Each structure stands twice: as structure tokens, then as C-alpha cells.
């Protein structure tokens, strides 16, 4: 097996790696501080499309994690970039929050329910039957179906919440149309992120807490992968997957010295 190049750039998931239920995970501040001190190219990624990078910067800053806006990459940004590449200046009916609508506005998309080119499904805490019905009818009428990410559930202090993947399954059942998922584990999101910081996959690493999104996305994008056990995937679940991470660590604190 060919020896990998030294890691020069880092991509890391946010929830379950840097923070958990609104509090920073021990070691996250040291990891970010070291990246910035050594001027290593890095991105904090999230499949959650609800918030803009500015929102997330402020949220992380309140927790003591100083992550610049330009170092935050969301599935909403990746989705907007994908649609701009596919159909510049297009139209979309959007179910989601400001993170998604702002990203689409910024690339020149018009948001409408009148014969849109795309139906774009993102994350929201207020999915409504009315908006889902509208999406189903527009897809049946010919709109292409895009979803920001395939996560079936999201975390909350009360327990799991239905997320984009689960809601998209409802729409698929009603229309017979599968969405194109832009976020992790689609390597498209990872490669777009690497391009954003001028990094190369062979000298980059991905840190995540989920085997089915973070590790898989990093693997398919050609990066070294680190699974931390501070989030979703439990130790006994790792062997159930037909692929594995380059390394398993208890938490981000164990990776600070690798930067």
C-alpha cells in the first residue's frame, strides 16, 4: 500500500466532533487554535443546512471556538454551488431555513413556487404538510428533486429529530422520484470544500463521528480519515461497515498533536 503524504489540510465535522448538544467537546479549542497558529488550511463542515456560516461562526464563538466565517462549509453552500454549476440563474422551490435560502440567493437563484427548475429540500424544525404537498406536486409536474443531505435524524437535547433524509423519503414515496443528495457522504461536497481552501485530497484528512457520512465521504474523496467516538458511531458499530477509517480516536483531543 502506497505511503500517504503528510497531512497539510484538515476537514472536520462539527456536531459530535467539535461540539455536542451546544457545548464544546474537550480539546476542540486546542485543535482549532493549533490549526490557526500553524496556518494550516482547514474547514469545519456540517450537513446541517439551517444556518449561514455567519450564524455558525457566532454560535461557535460563544462556545470559545474561534472559527472564521471563511473556514465554515455547509451542505447549503455546497448545494448552491452545485445548482449554480448545473443551471446558472435558475429557479427553485425551497423547503428550509436561512442557511439554504441565503446560499441560493447569493448565487443568483430565484425562489419561487411557479414552475421551478428544482425542488430543494433542506433542514428545518418546522416541516409543514402544506410545503411538502407543494413540493410533491411540483416534482410530479417536472421539477428536479435535490436534497441538501441524507441524514435521517438530527440531534437535540430531547433526542433524535427527523431530518432531511427521512423527509425526502416521504416525498420519494409520494412521487417515485429519488432526490440527488449533495451533502456528505457525497464526495462532491468534500471536493468542493477542498477546492475552496486550495487543498489536495492526498495531503488532507477528514475527521468525523459518523461512519456512514463523514468517514465514507472522506474515503471516497481520497482523504485520510479519522473517526472520533464522541458522537454518533459507537465502537461496536465500526466493524459492521465494509470500510474502515484510517484511525479511531476517543475524541478530537487525541488529534491535536497530529496538526
Q: Which residues belong to the annotated binding site for substrate? A: 184
Binding site as annotated, residues for Mg(2+): 13, 15, 209
Q: 218 in helix, strand or coil? A: helix
Expressed in angstroms, the distance from the first to the final Cα of the chain is 23
Strands 180-181 and 247-249 turn out to be unpaired
DSSP strand E in the chain: where? 9-13, 19-20, 23-24, 42-46, 72-74, 91-95, 110-111, 118-121, 144-147, 153-154, 161-162, 180-181, 204-208, 224-228, 247-249
Binding site as annotated, residues: 13, 15, 184, 209
Q: State the maximum Cα–Cα separation within the chain, in Å, rounded to a whole number.
A: 54
The DSSP code for 33 is H
Helix, strand, coil percent values for the chain (each to nearest 5): 40, 20, 40
Distance CA 110, CA 92 (A): 6
CB 11 within 8 A of CB 215: no
Nearest alpha carbon to residue 87 among 118, 111, 115: 118
Q: Residue 119 phi/psi, 5° resolution?
A: -105, 125
Q: What are the residue numbers of the active site?
A: 13, 15
Query: ω before 66 within 30° of 0 (cis)?
Result: no
Amino acid at each position: 500500500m502506497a505511503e500517504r503524504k503528510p497531512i497539510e489540510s484538515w476537514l472536520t465535522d462539527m456536531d459530535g466532533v467539535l461540539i455536542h448538544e451546544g457545548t464544546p467537546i474537550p480539546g476542540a479549542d486546542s485543535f482549532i487554535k493549533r490549526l490557526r497558529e500553524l496556518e494550516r488550511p482547514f474547514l469545519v463542515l456540517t450537513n446541517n443546512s439551517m444556518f449561514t456560516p455567519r450564524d455558525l461562526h457566532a454560535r461557535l464563538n460563544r462556545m470559545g471556538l474561534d472559527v472564521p466565517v471563511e473556514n465554515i462549509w455547509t451542505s447549503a453552500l455546497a448545494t448552491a454551488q452545485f445548482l449554480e454549476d448545473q443551471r446558472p440563474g435558475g429557479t427553485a422551490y425551497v423547503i428550509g431555513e436561512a442557511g439554504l435560502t441565503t446560499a441560493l440567493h447569493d448565487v443568483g437563484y430565484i425562489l419561487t413556487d411557479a414552475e421551478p427548475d428544482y425542488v430543494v429540500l433542506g433542514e428545518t424544525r418546522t416541516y409543514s404538510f402544506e410545503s411538502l404537498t407543494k413540493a410533491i406536486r411540483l416534482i410530479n409536474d417536472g421539477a428536479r428533486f435535490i436534497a441538501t443531505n441524507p441524514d435521517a435524524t438530527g440531534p437535540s437535547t430531547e433526542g433524535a429529530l427527523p431530518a432531511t433524509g427521512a423527509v425526502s423519503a416521504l416525498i420519494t414515496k409520494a412521487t417515485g422520484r429519488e432526490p440527488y443528495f449533495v451533502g456528505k457522504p457525497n464526495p462532491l461536497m468534500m471536493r468542493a470544500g477542498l477546492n475552496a481552501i486550495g487543498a489536495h485530497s492526498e495531503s488532507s484528512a477528514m475527521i468525523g463521528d459518523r461512519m456512514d457520512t463523514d468517514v465514507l465521504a472522506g474515503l471516497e474523496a481520497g482523504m485520510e480519515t479519522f473517526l472520533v467516538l464522541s458522537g454518533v458511531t459507537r465502537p461496536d458499530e465500526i466493524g459492521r461497515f465494509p470500510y474502515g477509517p484510517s484511525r479511531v480516536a476517543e475524541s478530537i483531543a487525541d488529534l491535536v498533536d497530529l496538526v
